[in-house]
Amino acid sequence: MALTYPDAPSARRPGRCWTIRVVGHRDRTASVTCSSTCAMPPRSRDLAALRRFAEAHVAAHARAAAVHHDAACWCRRQQCALHDGTRVNCAGGVVLVLRHDPAVGQVWTLTEVCSACAPLMPHARVMSRAVPPPAAPREPYEPLATASESGGPRRVPGGFSAPPGGMGQVPVPERRGGRRHGTARRRGGRTASGGAGG
């Protein structure tokens, strides 16, 4: 059973972000980088092939990433700089958005953001949404569980404590001094062979 996380922002884990870039080099080759530690193809002059790889790679990340339902909005963490003109309060479920500016054409970004920021981010489209937590939903109201028993407080007689044996039985004292076989009386006697010496 998974515990449900409280909805406080402090209890959320930070939203994740993956950035895939096609980076050109001076020798007219290019390479693909990923912010995660992924195996990348070697440098190549085939820029189109590298771009196809980057698109496939970001799509693979989007498929593999199970969106955290308790992820904090990544956009919020960047002070919502991507939609500076429109301020919103982060709200709603967590979605995974892919941003790709065709004018730049060489950067793909996957981020976990809230449902309020997602439509405001430029060049972004929602790839997947967070799966709701597996815990059972709460009941709208809880049944009354008060411990009041019917009939009011129980009356307990005070100041009376019956012995566990009952009143009728008087404990019989052991008879002392009736018969005594005297082997227990030797201690005080002096013997000559004692080592007391004193």
- Looking at the Cβ atoms of 125 and 135, the one nearer to Zn ion is 125
Give the other-Cβ count within 10 Å of 119's Cβ.
15
| Residue 90 contacts Zn ion per CB under 5 A | yes
In the sheet that 107-114 helps form, which strands lie side by side, from edge to edge?
Answer: 30-34, 17-24, 107-114, 94-99, 124-129
The bridge status of strand 30-34 relative to strand 94-99 is: unpaired
Burial of 192 (0-12, 13-18, 19+ CB in 10 A): exposed
Let me know the angle formed at the C-alpha of 67 by 62 and 72, rounded to the nearest 5 degrees: 120
Distance of closest approach, residue 2 Cβ to Zn ion, in angstroms: 24
Size of the site for Zn ion (CB under 5 A): 10
- State which of residues 36, 44, 106, 128 lies at the interface with Zn ion (CB under 5 A): 36
- State which of residues 50, 97, 114, 130 lies at the interface with Zn ion (CB under 5 A): 114
| Residue 75 contacts Zn ion per CB under 5 A | yes
Stretch touching Zn ion by CB under 5 A, among 2-10, 44-52, 114-122, 154-162: 114-122
Stretch touching Zn ion by CB under 5 A, among 45-53, 76-84, 157-165, 185-193: 76-84
Beta-bridge partners for 94: 114
- Looking at the Cβ atoms of 1 and 64, the one nearer to Zn ion is 64
Distance of closest approach, residue 86 Cβ to Zn ion, in angstroms: 9
Report the C-alpha gap between 189 and 22 in whole angstroms.
111
Binding site for Zn ion (CB under 5 A): 34, 36, 38, 73, 75-76, 80, 90, 114, 117
